Structure 1
Amino acid sequence: MNIQPYQIVEEYLGKNAAQLFEKLLSQKPERANAIVLLQGDRFDRMEKATALFRCGYADVLLLTGNNDLIGPHIRPGESNVSLSEMVGRLKDMGVPEDSIVLDDRALHTGDQARNVVKIARARGWKSFIIVSSAYNVLRAFETFKEEAQIQHWQGTIIMQPVLLPWDQNPGGRDKTALRMLQLEMEKIKEYAQKWIIRRARSEDAKAVFEIRNDPCARGNSLRAEPIIWEDHLKWFEDHWQKAGMIFFVLEHQYDVVGYCRFVRNPEGYFEISIALSASYQGKGLGHYLLHGGVKEFFSQSLDGGELQAKVRKENKASLTLFGRHNFRIFQEDDMTYSLVLHSNAPHC
């Protein structure tokens, strides 16, 4: 039995990644500020990009790549064409020259993401469409998404993959698209060994609900009763995107395993709370999440100089965690300690 693309992704990265892969393959185009054409596979991606342009999905076509890694003997297994050849083909296919933006300083996908997001920020773009090959769509999406976080660009990324036959070689390649997909999954798996702290998104609601409703988490919370799903949804919508609040999640291989949020309390100070999935506790991830969250909080200057936390007195693990990051007790009541961290204090 022939293995299917979905099965390859699931084998390497798990079911969540496979579901995302299928979602990206079937994503519908939307009106955007620009169409981003990633150089690669010679002219295979041109028809898709120009068709989107002709249909009015954007008024700008941004071509990103380089003129250095061109020809059959530069990169093993591939033979790209130059950007000037691609621009000529775009014009032949009906894209006006003044609608083409050229980024010729991208040697790989990471460079493409970095340069495109920088251009998007400079031009005030709120969205762009990425045209790539189907085997590359998952890695391209994740790379651009991560770069958007790094540069604090909060726009929309729309993927429009070119669906070439999986048993045929893409343009300039010496391997089939299915084999290229396997190689892409190997790259992603290597990259995914790291833990990622990112802004929460609407689709994280269920994972955060499960973390909040874990019996251990409820026992350490200031409110110990179980949370109702409907109440959680309202709470989550109020927190993940509300102005003046920050909500981060900790992600590993596409699974959300913890969160760290900052909410202004009645006294006007920001208060931090942190939680990890029970199966990921005791691995040092609390330190990683707290350090990353606090660093990001102060870098965005959302508060004049201090951050507070409230911890139940019997929650020794959290008290130790916050203490190691230089939070100090400044107040207490019968059940809780109130802690504070000043922005000029080291937070290791």
Structure 2
Amino acid sequence: MLTPLLPMMARAYTLDGPRHKVDAIIVLSGGLQCSSGALNSASFARVIKGLELWRAGYAPQMILSGGGEQTPHGCPKVATTAEQIVHTLYPTNGPRIAVLNDVLNTRGEAAQTRSLAKANGWKSFLLVTSPTHTRRAAQTFQDAGLNVTPIAADETAFDLAMPLMGHRLTALRGVVRELAARLTGRV
């Protein structure tokens, strides 16, 4: 925890590609708080980064993910809440939005995006997710045959420089989650 190893591992999982014009911006889900219906900090940061990219003119289309079959009864879907935020900020002249529904993981998001891409003739994407998720997410989408450039959303749960022990503890959870996901993906 106190060595440079944890920050090095977190940075090793992080990719932040060059921004360039694409057909669509994919914003992966990060979850929400069911009781309030509010996006959690990861989802909110991802939506904001996607909107920044859209406003900068990188793509006219956003693909919002979130809301699997495991969404608890009465709990809103992440994509629905994210879409409401976009429409609140841009009631007119906002980005065109497509939604990935009933996805359980990154592989499901990639599979649904591949279907959308085929149906719409989309060839290239910016893929927005949390920093420590960028490397695995990009690989998953590329394995699905999609041309994606990973974009790291601002991390709101911890500072990647990890100046405080709390940042290191939170980062450790993200690194362990990525390690576990890689292992289960190989199995």
* Common fold by TM > 0.5: yes
Tell me the distance in 2 between the aligned counterparts of 1:80 and 1:177: 27
Matches within 5 A, 1:1-348: 1-5=2-6, 7-8=8-9, 18=12, 21=13, 24-25=15-16, 27-40=17-30, 41-66=42-67, 68-70=69-71, 82-94=78-90, 96=93, 99-148=96-145, 156-164=147-155, 165-166=159-160, 176-192=170-186
Kindly, what percent of the aligned residue pairs are identical? 23
Structure 1 residues 141 and 6, CA gap change in structure 2 (3 angstroms): farther
Tell me the distance in 2 between the aligned counterparts of 1:159 and 1:53: 15
Deviation at 1:92, TM superposition (A): 2.3
Q: Which has the higher strand share?
A: 1
Tell me the distance in 2 between the aligned counterparts of 1:183 and 1:80: 24
Deviation at 1:156, TM superposition (A): 2.2
The Cα offsets for residues 228-283 of structure 1, whole Å up to 9 and x where unpaired, read as xxxxxxxxxxxxxxxxxxxxxxxxxxxxxxxxxxxxxxxxxxxxxxxxxxxxxxxx
Tell me the distance in 2 between the aligned counterparts of 1:107 and 1:43: 19
Rg larger in structure? 1
Deviation at 1:141, TM superposition (A): 1.1
Structure with larger RCO (C-alpha < 8 A, sep 6+)? 2
* Gapped regions of structure 1 (runs ≥ 5): 11-17, 74-78, 149-154, 194-348
> What RMSD, in angstroms, separates the aligned Cα atoms of the two structures?
3.1
Structure 1 residues 105 and 81, CA gap change in structure 2 (3 angstroms): closer
Query: What TM-score results when the alignment is normalised by the length of structure 1?
Result: 0.42
Say whether the 8 Å CA contact 1:135–1:180 is kept in structure 2.
yes
Say whether the 8 Å CA contact 1:70–1:82 is kept in structure 2.
no
1:162 partner letter: A
Structure 1 residues 68 and 186, CA gap change in structure 2 (3 angstroms): closer
Say whether the 8 Å CA contact 1:37–1:132 is kept in structure 2.
yes
Q: How many residue pairs were aligned?
A: 166
SS in structure 1 at match of 2:58? coil
The Cα offsets for residues 26-61 of structure 1, whole Å up to 9 and x where unpaired, read as x11110000001111331211101000000000000
* Gapped regions of structure 2 (runs ≥ 5): 31-41
Deviation at 1:108, TM superposition (A): 1.3
